[in-house]
Structure 1
Amino acid sequence: MLLSVAAVARRLGVAPATLRTWDRRYGLGPSNHTSGRHRKYAPGDVARLELMQRALQRGASSAEAAKYALTAPRESAAAPLLTGGEFAPAGSSPGEPSSDGRDLRMSGAGRRARGLGRAALAMDATAAQRLLADSIEADGVIATWDEVVRPVLAAVAARWAHSGAGVEVSHLLDECVLAAMVRATPLVTEPRNHRPVLLACLPEERHVLPLYPLAAVLARRGIGVRHLGAALPLDALTSAVRRTAPSAVVLWAQLPRYADPGAVSALPRTRQQVRVFAAGPGWERGVVPAPAERVNDLSSAADAVERAVC
């Protein structure tokens, strides 16, 4: 069956202008003509385009992806494209992000970050989660968060701030990252710490995503955590501290207006010492009352908590 430009664009989730660009720039166009000069895509043409799209989502530049799509056997369209979460055909070299409007602005970002950005823009949750899983397996949670996830989150936020578009991309990306981090969090049945670590957002703070990689890192180090989620009311936080007698409490604030020193001071005193950590960019310019300690990034937060409770 032959397909029009519009039909192929819908199938791939790209703009018709993108297909015309790929045709003009790389020769990945329809090979069949019909009457009236209209060109139609044959199944083999669509298979090539699918190969290119999958390569882009794995982090290849447009030129690399086009070269792969043009040289790969046609049956490759139905096979897994790569292993390890990267696109690296023989003889290729890393390229800059393409200029066809499919990329986020991420200067200096690595291949996996570029691939995650393309998957997010294409609303391809499967590709995004596969890439995140490959990255966590290869490089660990901290590197995946710092080098893959954070650049894409920042680029999506900047895109939204500039154009007002992309809220759906942000939501899908958050859900993919959350799912990947939950899968990367082992069940700790015999924790090294005798008392749990509480992870919670301050009241009204709903940006909970960064606590999930922290929970994953701590669990992988054998530390038991209780994740209390977003926008935890102050009375619920104090009740949780009394009921669990935690060894440490991590309070997350993404936005400065939620970084309330009073919430730290209101934590109940227990018989055993509780180490309190103020985490997140919301605390950067605010006051962190003693004895709480400020932690600035995922690696330092995980290390500080581990030292405190083990």
Structure 2
Amino acid sequence: MASVARRLGVAPSTLRTWDRRYGLGPSRHTDGRHRRYGSSDIGRLELMQRALLRGASTAEAARYALEQMPRSGPPVLREVTGTLTGEPPEEREPDGHEVPSRLARRLSTAALAMDVGAVQRMLVDIIAELGVLPAWTGVLEPVLSALGTRWRGVSAGAEVEYLLAECVFAALIRATPVLDEPRNTRPVLLGCVPEERDSMPMYALAASLAERRVGAQLFGVPLPAEVLAVAVRRSAPAAVVLWAHRRAAADPRLFARVSRGRQRGRLFACGPGWDRAALPGKVELLTDLSTAADRIEHVLVGARR
């Protein structure tokens, strides 16, 4: 059972619940010890996962899976520690990493099951396996976006999005080491424009910079313009990066506010909300987080060591 649970991205206790309540367990028990899953058993569970991702309740998803794949005929069995007969191998990238789409599906399933332990463990594993930014762009952000779209304007079910968001925040913070000796003498200040609702990408960028031993000062909560200007003046950062996801929140005049006085650091606008044509000439646009991490590192400390 543990092997099947890892494959599907849920806790063994979740599989036992689905077996007990909905009859979606293994086809046979052997020697009173092993719970054996066949290809049809796995197929039903995967159908249930797809139905959950489309917004079905657990009971509706289980009923759908059983209707699409009724129990009939002898299953193709395997020990949970072995290889499923006739089943294609788990998708992998050429370097051995799990395909991000599979990781995203597993993470979604764990979140939909409200299995906080499985979500937390999975986030640690995904970030460790892929790295912070590939994990963010390939798995975490797409899953958060999909869940947010599904529950937008709906109170019931939104708890899944909030649960995952809290877990992702914590995982990104854990993935940001405290640097005793950063390569940059002055920090890069990371912040969001006022009224910006989506600050999570700045946590991912801070973690990625820390991986490169580039020190950053992060303001995850969007600051009012006057407070942000004071923070820049007092910190004297080597660079200021302002994130804007929504076009309505991205005001290019903000850069004039933060660059007054003795501020001599580089200025960067990051995110899809910025209009390149409207930015002041001294502000450089960073279109995505990977580009931002590479460019900031290059400007502050040169090529990666």
- Fold match by TM threshold 0.5: yes
Q: Deviations over 1:166-212 (max 9, x none)?
A: 32111111111111111111111111111111111111223111111
Post-superposition offset of 1:242? 0.9
Gaps of 5+ in 2: 1-12, 52-64, 92-98
Asked if 1:124 is matched to 2:126, the reply is no
> Residue 94 of structure 1: CA displacement?
6.1
Q: What SS does structure 1 have at the residue aligned with 2:191?
A: strand
Secondary structure of the 2:258 match is: coil
**Mapping of residues 51-130 of structure 1, within 5 Å:** 71-72=78-79, 92-93=87-88, 110-130=101-121
Shift of 1:22: 2.9
Give CA deviations for 1:62-95 in whole Å, capped at 9, x if unaligned: 99xx9x996446xx8xxxxxxxxxx986763268
Q: 2:265 aligns with which of 257, 261, 274?
A: 274
Which amino acid in 1 is paired with 2:88?
Answer: S
Q: Matched residues, percent identical? A: 42
Alpha-carbon distance between aligned partners in 2 of 1:135 and 1:233, rounded to the nearest angstrom? 34
Secondary structure of 1:266 counterpart: helix
Which residue of structure 2 aligns with residue 144 of structure 1?
135
Equivalent pair of 1:60/1:95 in contact (CA under 8 Å):
no
8 Å Cα contact 1:13-1:122 kept in structure 2:
no
* Deviation digits for residues 233-257 of structure 1 (CA, Å, limit 9, x no counterpart): 1111111111111011111112111
Aligned to 1:241: 232
Q: Which residue of 1 aligns with 2:55?
A: none
Partner of 1:171: 162
State the shift of 1:292 in Å. 1.1
2:96 aligned partner: none
**Structure 1 unaligned regions, length at least 5:** 1-10, 32-42, 77-86, 97-107
Cα shift readout 1:128-162 (whole Å, capped 9, x = no counterpart): 12112112212211111111112212211221249
Residue pair 2:233, 2:262 contacting (<8 A) in 1 also: no
| Shift, 1:273, TM fit | 2.5
Change (3 A) 1:186 1:21: same
Q: 1:282 to 1:15 in 2, by over 3 A?
A: farther
- TM-superposed CA distance for 1:47, in Å, is 11
Tell me, yes or no, if structure 1 residue 213 matches structure 2 residue 204: yes
1:259 lines up with 2:250 in the alignment:
yes
Q: In 2 relative to 1, CA 220–46 (structure 1 residues): closer, same or farther, beyond 3 Å?
A: same
Match of 1:22 in 2: 24
Tell me whether 1:181 sits opposite 2:172 in the alignment: yes
Q: Which amino acid aligns with 1:195?
A: R
Superposition TM-score, scaled by structure 2 size: 0.69
Distance 2:21 2:192 in 1: 44
User: TM-score normalised to the size of structure 1?
Assistant: 0.68
Contact 1:60 1:94 in 2 (8 A): no
After TM superposition, give the deviation of residue 163 of structure 1 in Å.
6.4
SS in structure 2 of the partner of residue 210 of structure 1: helix
* Residue 5 (structure 2) aligns with: none
- Letter paired with 1:288: L
Amino acid in the other structure paired with 1:145:
W
Q: Which amino acid aligns with 1:22?
A: L
Q: 1:301 aligns with which of 281, 285, 292?
A: 292
- Structure 1 distance, partners of 2:35, 2:27, is 13
Measured in 1, the distance between the counterparts of 2:151 and 2:188 equals 35
**Contact kept? 2:179, 2:213, Cα under 8 Å:** yes
